[in-house]
A = this chain, B = another copy of it.
Amino acid sequence: MIGIAQIGCYIPATKKSNVDLLDKFATNEAFLRDKIGVLKRAQKQPHETASDLCVQAMEDLKQRIEIDLDTIECCVVVTQNPDVKIPHTAAIVHGALGLAETCASFDISLGCSGYVYALAIVSAFMQAQGMSKGLLFTADPYSDIIDPNDKNTALIFGDAATVTLLDEQANLCAVGFDLGSKGADYKKLICENNQLSMNGRAVFNFTAAKVPISVTNLLRKLNLDKTQIKQWYFHQGSKYIVDTITKRLGLDPALVVFDMYQYGNTVSSSIPLLLSQDLAKLQVGDKILLSGFGVGLSWASTVLEQF
Contacts and interface: CB of A to CB of B under 8 A. Distances in A.
B194 A85 contact: yes
Contacts of A170: none
A290 interface: no
Nearest to A122: B121
A257 to B, nearest CB: 25
Q: Which of A80, A177, A185 has the most CB of B within 10 A?
A: A80
B184 A95 contact: yes
A86 B96 contact: no
B181 A84 contact: no
Copies of the protein in its oligomer: 2
A90 B196 CA distance: 18
A298 B93 CA distance: 13
Interface stretch (A10-18, A109-117, A274-282): A109-117
A180 B102 contact: yes
B298 A181 contact: no
Contact of A121 (B75, B81, B121, B180): B121
A146 B108 CA distance: 24
A94 interface: yes
A101 B295 contact: no
B186 A129 contact: no
A198 to B, nearest CB: 10
Contacts of A84: 190-192
A109 B107 contact: yes
A98 interface: yes
A175 to B, nearest CB: 12
A104 interface: yes
Contact of A91 (B89, B103, B297): B297
B120 A129 contact: yes
A166 to B, nearest CB: 13
A30 interface: no
B87 A295 contact: yes
A88 interface: yes
B107 A179 contact: no
Contacts of A183: 87, 90-96, 99, 105
Given A95-B183, A105-B296, 7 more contacts: A87-B186, A88-B295, A101-B180, A106-B117, A123-B128, A124-B125, A129-B177
Interface of A: 75, 80-82, 84-96, 98-99, 101-111, 117, 120-121, 123-125, 127-129, 145, 177, 179-186, 189-192, 194, 196, 295-298, 300
What 9 A-B pairs are tightest by C-beta distance, nearest first? Answer: A94-B183, A95-B183, A124-B128, A107-B109, A86-B191, A104-B179, A105-B181, A85-B191, A95-B184
